[in-house]
Every structure is written in C-alpha cells, then in structure tokens.
Amino acid sequence: MAFSITILGSSAAIPTSSRNPSAIVVNMDYSYFLMDCGEGTQIQLRRSKLKMQKIHHIFISHLHGDHYFGLVGLISTLNLLGRKDELNVYGPHDLEKIIQIQLEASQSNLGYPIVFHITNPNEAEIIYETDEHYVKSFPLDHSIETTGFLFSEKQKPRRIKKAFLYYDFDVPVEDILKIKAGADFVTDAGKLYKNIDITENPPQALSFAYCSDTKFYEPVVEYIKNANVLYHEATFMEDMRNVADEKFHSTALGAALIAKKAQVGRLILGHFSARYKNLDNLLEEAKSTFPDTELAADGVTIKLDANEKTRL
C-alpha cells in the first residue's frame, strides 16, 4: 500500500527561481503517473530521484505551454536513456501532432512505442483502470479545453472478522469471496451468520483530485467528492476575482469553496501567479473557508495513506 504525490512544479505560467511550471508525480502502489509536464520537468524528475523510466502513463490537462512544454524533452531523454517500455500519453487532441512534428524534425526514431489517448473535454471518463486503481478525467472551465484528473483506489471488499475465521468449521474459499462481497454464511449444520456480524468495513479507498487550470466551477464537486487530497489552482486572491474570471483562473477563496463543498480531506493550493512574492495572505484567505489548506512547494511529497508530508 502506497499512495503519494510529489509536486515537481507549482508556478503559474511564468516560472520563478523557486517554482517550476506544473508537474506532479502520483505514486499508486509503486505505479508512477506523471500529471502535466511543464518545461524543465525532466530536470525536476532527476532532482527528485524518482526513476523516470518507471513512468508509464503521462496525463496532460491542456495545451497551455506551462502544462506540457517539457513533454517532448522528457520523451527524447527517455529514448536516449534506452527505454523500451510503452509510454501512454493522455491529453487533448492536438498533442500527438505537436510531439510528432518535433520528433520528425530531429529525425528521432524512438526505440519505444508511444500510445496517445485523446481526453474528453466535455464529460467525465475513466481513462485508465486496473483491478485496484482507476484514473478519471473530468471537464474544467478554462480558456481552452481542459480536464482535471482523479486518481483513485477502487473500493476494497468487506473484511472478514478474524474471530469468525477461527470458528470450528472450515469456510470454503468460494464462500470467503462471497462473504467479502456481502453474502451471509450458512454452516453445514444450518446455522446462519449474517454478513454484518462477521465482516467489518474495509479501509477507505484513497483518492487524489487535480484541478489544474479552471475558473471557479461548481460542477467539479461531484467528480472530486470526498477526495483525500485536492490539488486546486489558486492563481489569484479574491481581490483580483475579476481578473481571475476573465483569465479563467481561480482565487484562493474559490478553491477553498470547492474543497468545502466536495468535503475533501486536505486542500493543496498551487499554480500561483508570479506576482505574489509572499503567499501568506493567499493561504489565509483559503483557510478562512477551508482550514485544512496548505501551499504547494516544488519537491514536496504528500502521502495520502499516512497523512504525511516530506521534502525531498
């Protein structure tokens, strides 16, 4: 069990000396997913000590440069380092041709396959799924087509109480699976054990939601409901709400309202305008509405399973 995110870039469109453009690595049980890939992400990956060849899925929220200008460089470097494994890239329609034109100009023959998956900017879709996890894209409200992403564990089956398993009768394997799925159990002697008495709730399925670039957009609440951690952009403060709306960005207060309505566990604010040299007021603005708020910082890892934060 492992579920964590590592923030590689938390600036808005213009990078600063301490904040790179958008990029986050998600680790779900040691499968690694990259979300957005601003310029310099490959260097941030190198600094973070995360093995870049372990990434098999890259998700691009939209085609503003600060969210993907680092992708072609990362693809090239993975190739130079000898990659053979397939890479899946999920993003808007034009992404594939933008990458291809650059690979063609350099006469690069990649030694590994890339599979492009076009995201749907109009409705939520599960775009990646295994027995344990899934990733869902969902629409945001930005100046160009943009999706957010939800990374989630699947709900695990109910747990059988240990005391029940120690009773003096054998429970066949197929019955164990049925009990986990909610069935009662009847012994050979005809005694009934109700499911509610012999099972307990499974651990909570953890989830992480990412709202990259969006104006205040209440429909996202249904997609990110109860997420343990929400990373939401907060380019501006509320006193610049007009500018935020005009540029299809959020304020810190707007992000906090979304977090509150969605009843998430923790809110991480990111994508800060370079105009804010000090972010204390921006943080306070959000905290006034949603106390469990913190500021994103490049290089920080946040563990969902242990409620921990570490700095690389």
Instruction: Closer to a second copy by CB, 81 or 126: give it.
Output: 81
**Stretch in the footprint of a second copy (CB under 8 A) among 97-105, 173-181, 202-210, 296-304:** 97-105
Binds a second copy by CB under 8 A, chosen from 8, 15, 185, 215: 15
Residue 16 CB, shortest distance to a second copy, in Å, is: 7
Pattern 107-126, a second copy, x by CB under 8 A: xx------------------
**Active-site residue identified among 66, 141, 170, 213:** 66
Instruction: Closer to a second copy by CB, 72 or 267: give it.
Output: 72
Site for a second copy in 56-95 (CB under 8 A): 63-66, 69-70, 72-73, 76-77, 80-81, 92, 94-95
Residue 104 CB, shortest distance to a second copy, in Å, is: 8
Residue 73 CB, shortest distance to a second copy, in Å, is: 4
Does the active-site annotation cover 66? yes
Residue 45 CB, shortest distance to a second copy, in Å, is: 11
Residue among 78, 80, 25 nearest 50 (CA) = 25
Residue 107 CB, shortest distance to a second copy, in Å, is: 5
Binds a second copy by CB under 8 A, chosen from 39, 153, 233, 298: 39
- Residues forming contacts to a second copy in the complex (CB under 8 A) are 13-17, 20, 39-40, 42-43, 46-47, 63-66, 69-70, 72-73, 76-77, 80-81, 92, 94-95, 97-98, 101-102, 105-108, 143-144
Tell me which residues are annotated as active site.
66
